[in-house]
Structure 1
Amino acid sequence: MDDALEAPAAPPDPRASDTLARLAAGTLLLTGTAWLARAVWEIRLYSAGEPASGPPDQGGGTHRPLDSLENAYHLVSAAGSLLTLLCAAAFLMWLWRVRDNALALSGRPPKYAGIWVYLGWVVPVVNLWFPRGIVADAYRASAPGQRLPAVVNVWWVLWLAGAFGGVLQQRSTDSVIARAYSDIGPLLTADVAVAGAAVAGALMVRTVTAAQTARLARV
């Protein structure tokens, strides 16, 4: 995990950091809005009730034509997925920047090697704490002696709750529609957790970036 071979980072550019922070926070809020929209459409599906023809996936490779509400949910779901990908790219750019800033400000190698900025989200088991650890390590290196902001832990708990809820669900859109008709509770719980994680993540991004900016001003 330790990365003793990290090269010295260039002096941090506060303007670039702030730009990436705004981009990451903005896409996080948009993604949270998209997941709330999913929740609204799932409530609409639940309220409408399953059509007499049954779920969209009839089994055996047979799919019935979708009604207008189901088609709309497909569009909402696709938009949410696209925003999530854009958000992930913006967040990773920001995370790499704050990690480099922390190296330049503290002069000590980061606790986690650079590869974990990407793999830490997808490798089983370590994805339960590595991403939070990278953020926490960058903050502590940038603001020595300061307590880790509570929003970091709030963001991570909500993210894990949303991710765990997603794992328990069948993730094809038609299967989600079928589940919305009969068992909407887990869907709404996961959607609200992801939306909450997005809002907390946006606050976390601004908090960590502000701490680095304040340290740069003092330096």
Structure 2
Amino acid sequence: MNDQIAEQDQQVRQSAVRPVGGVARFAVGGLLLAGGAWVVRAGWELRLAAAGEPASGPPDQGGGDHRPLNALENGYHVVTALGEGVALVCAVLFLRWLWRVRDNARELTGLRPRYAGFWVYLGWILPIANLWIPRGLVADVHRTIAPDRRLPRSLNWWWALWLIGTLSGVGFVYRDDTDAVIARAYTEVWPLVVSDAAVVGAAVAGALMVRAVTSAQLERQRQPVMGGGAEEG
């Protein structure tokens, strides 16, 4: 009788597992597209540096005055806006994938996730917590579905490069407005380019990480589902 109940519980859990391959491919595509957008941004910053600052000075003249932008500077505004749009799409696709693999890990094992669901969003924006929780969310999924395996190296590379690109203030999250970044490209372009390179590296490592975690989950789906009795949340 108990075996029949356990088998029924396994069948219910298996039926609740949702396909992950499609959302993983979209997440990988979004990450690589975002990386490409930052390659273009870095290239445009190098173009600005090579052209040199106009005799009229930086775009922001101070005191609330802004001079008319030249064609290269206008182009950088367009590149920046497009990059921000791509980054938003990438974030949506990545979070969709993270939700999916997190939910599937719970259904496949019956184990409560280490982090509550709201951390999938709040973990990225809450100061201090955003230094480790996003990585922890992915690591928890992998440890749940593949407890006998080491975490993918791409996970640590992704997170280290992501932190470099965000905390530097000149990579993925610019603290200055676009005109201020243009002025920096004229005078100190290499910190901008190095930080952009970190974002590109994070995008590539993130794509590899998504593939690794997804592959582990698909392999886990082909194995017998652990019986019920574990607490969910």
- TM-score range for the pair, normalised by the shorter chain length: over 0.9
**What residue in structure 2 maps to residue 172 of structure 1?**
177
1:35 is matched by which residue type in structure 2? Answer: W
Q: Where does residue 216 of structure 1 map in the other structure? A: 221
Q: What is the aligned partner in structure 2 of residue 90 from structure 1?
A: 93
Residue type matched to 2:96 in 1?
Answer: M
Q: For 1:13-24, what aligned pairs fall within 5 Å after superposition?
A: 13=18, 16-24=19-27
Taking every aligned residue pair, what percent have the same amino acid on both sides? Answer: 58
Q: Does 1:197 align with 2:197?
A: no
Taking the TM superposition and a 5 Å limit, the aligned residue runs for 1:2-17 are 11-13=16-18, 16-17=19-20
Letter in 1 for 2:106: L
Check 1:129–1:30 CA distance in 2 against 1; reply closer, same or farther (3 A cut): same
The offset of 1:170, in angstroms, is 3.7
How many residues are treated as equivalent by the alignment?
Answer: 210
- Whether the 8 Å CA contact 2:170–2:196 is kept in 1: the answer is no
Aligned mates of 1:160, 1:82 — CA distance in 2 = 20
How far apart are the structure 1 equivalents of 2:122 and 2:14?
Answer: 21
Local SS of the residue matching 2:61: strand
Q: For residue 119 of structure 2, what is the aligned residue in structure 1?
A: 116
Runs of 4+ in 1 over 4 A off after TM superposition: none
Q: Does 1:81 align with 2:84?
A: yes
Whether the aligned pair in 1 keeps the contact of 2:158 and 2:203 (CA below 8 Å) is yes
The whole-number CA distance in structure 2 between the counterparts of 1:61 and 1:98 is 48
Q: In 1, distance between residues paired with 2:194 and 2:41?
A: 12
After superposition, residues 39-78 of structure 1 pair within 5 angstroms as 39-78=42-81
- Equivalent position of 1:132 in the other structure: 135
* Structure 1 residue runs without a partner (length 5+): 1-7
Q: Secondary structure at the match of 2:190?
A: helix
Which runs of no fewer than 5 residues in structure 2 stay unpaired? Answer: 1-12, 225-233
Query: Residue deviations 1:31-75, cap 9 Å, x none?
Result: 000001000000000000000000011111111111111111111
Alpha carbons of 1:185 and 1:154: their partners in 2 closer, same or farther (altered >3 Å)?
A: same
Determine whether 1:101 maps to 2:104: yes
2:169 is the counterpart of 1:141: no
**Does the aligned pair in 2 maintain the 1:9–1:100 contact within 8 Å?**
no
Letter in 2 for 1:34: A
- Give 1:167 shift: 6.2
Query: 3-state SS of the aligned residue for 1:90?
Result: helix
Counterpart AA for 2:68: P
The alignment partner of 1:58 has SS state of strand
Question: Secondary structure of 1:147's match?
Answer: coil
Letter in 1 for 2:110: G
**Cα distance in 1 for residues equivalent to 2:92 and 2:15:** 22
- Equivalence for 1:155: 158
Q: What TM-score, normalized by structure 1, do the two folds share?
A: 0.92
- Asked if 1 retains the 8 angstrom alpha-carbon contact of 2:123 and 2:130, the reply is yes
- 8 A contact 1:162–1:190 mirrored in 2: yes
